[in-house]
Structure 1
Amino acid sequence: MATTQLTTSSISVRNMVSFEGLRFSQVQFPCVGHVRIGTLTQRSFRGIVVKASTVVAPKYTAIKPLGDRVLLKIKEAEEKTQGGILLPSTAQTKPQGGEVVAVGEGKTFGKNKVDISVKSGEQVVYSKYAGTEVEFNGTKHLILKDDDIVGILDTEDVKDLKPLNDRVLIKLAEAEEKTAGGLLLTEATKEKPSVGTIIAVGPGPLDEEGKRTPISVTPGNTVLYSKYAGNDFKGKDGSDYIALRASDIIAILS
C-alpha cells in the first residue's frame, strides 16, 4: 500500500493562522498523494506534533463517604459457570455484591441521628445500577446510599440474606409448567410468577423522626407483589428469590 508523508507543504486549512514555535514531527498515513482539505486556501501549520490523547485517572490515598453513604469494594463477576465453563464478558452478570470498606456518619431526622445500617467488613448485596463506581487501590469500588443496600449476606446462598430497612426476601412460587389446555411450556414462555413466600423481613422504614416502622408482613406469609419490582436472585438449591420493598407487596394470600 502506498504511503505519503505529511509535511508543512501538504497540510492546509482555510482561514487558520499558523502555529509557530512547535516542534515538527512527520506522520505517515495509508493514502495516496498529497493530503488537502477541499480546495481551501493554503496556510501552513508549522511544527504540529500529532500524538494520541491519554486520560490519566487521579490517584487517591483515601476515600471517606459522607452522610448516609457507604463505600463498597465490588465483588468480581463470575467468569465460569458452576460446571466450569468460561463465560464471555457479555454473558457475565453484573456483580451486585461487595464488602463494606467505610461508612458515613449517618443521617439526621430532626434532632435524631440514625447510624448507617452496615459496618466495615460486612458482605452486602445492593440494588442494580445504584451508586457511583470509583477506581481505588487498583480495584473497583462503589459509593452508594445506605438505602440502596438490599441486605447483608454472610454466606454464598441468597436464602441467608438479612434484608435491611423496608425490604423483604421472598421465595418465588414455581412457574406454571403447562397451559390450561395441558400444553407444556418452555422456559422462555413460562410467565414470571408474582407470588411467593416471605423468607425474611427488614427492620422497617424510617419515619420523619428517624424511628423504625414495623413491616406489615411476616416470614411464612404468602404474598402477591408487583411485577418487575425488586432484585432477582438464584439460590443454591435452584429456587428463585426476590428482594423488594415492602411497599411493592400488593396483598397477603391465604
Structure 2
Amino acid sequence: MKHLAALIIGVLTVGLLTATPATAQTSCSPKVTKAWATKTVVVGPTYQVYMPLRAKTYDECAPITYLSVSWRRRGHYDFADLNYLNGEVPTETWGARAAVDPYLLTNSATGKHTIDVDWIEDADYNYATDQLNVGSLRLKRAARLGINAYPEPVRKGQTITVAGKLRRANWNLNEWRGYGYRYVKLQFKKAGSSTFVNLKTVKSRKYGKLKTTVIARRDGTFRWLYLGNGVTGRKASKGDYVNVT
C-alpha cells in the first residue's frame, strides 16, 4: 500500500508540474484607441478640400474589416468610411481622405470637432457602435489677401503707398467677406534676396481694408502676411515688386 500511495502521489506531482498554464482571456471587442486629422483643415467659401483622417484600432481576436467615423460640432455632423493602411492584430492603422464641402458648413462649424466611431467590425463579426470622443480635428475658415504698392516706378526717398484687403471665407453665404480689426504684417524682400523681413504691423479697417506708407529706399517686393488665429487660417498675399529709380 505504501508503494501504491507513493506512486499515486508521484503521478499527481508530475501532472501538476507539466500542466499547461491557463491562457489569459482575450478581448474580442474591436475599438478605436485614437483618431485624428493629420493637419488643421482650412476651407474656403466654395471649393471642397480633402482632410487626411487617421485612426488606431485594437482587437485581439481578428483583423478589422470595417470602420466608419464621424465628427461633430454645434449641430454640424459629417462622416467618412476609413480604409486599412497598415498593421496587424491586435493593432492596425486606418485612414481616409475625407471631403469637406463648404456648402455643407456654416460658420458655427469653425473650430474643434469631436471624432466619434459610428461602427467598427472585425472578421469574426464582433462589432461596436457609438464609441464617443476618440479624438478631435480642427476646421478653419480660409483667409485671402490682396496687395497693391504704388506708384511704380518711384524715385528713391519718395513715399510708397501699400494697400490691400483682408477677407475671410463666409460659409453661411459661400463667399469672401472683409475681415476687420485684425493685425497684418507688411513685409519686404529686397531685390536679389530670398527672405522677407517685417516692416510694420497694420490693423485692418472695419471691412478688411489695409493701407499704409513707407519710404522708397531700394528695389524689392512687398507683401502682406496674416498669421491667422484659432478659427482662421494663415495667409500671405502675392508679392508686388516696386522699382526704385
User: Given the two structures, how large is their TM-score scaled by the length of structure 1?
Assistant: 0.23
User: Which structure carries more helix by proportion?
Assistant: 2
Q: Specify the structure having the higher radius of gyration (Cα).
A: 2
TM-score, with normalisation over the residues of structure 2?
0.24
Q: Which has the higher strand share?
A: 2
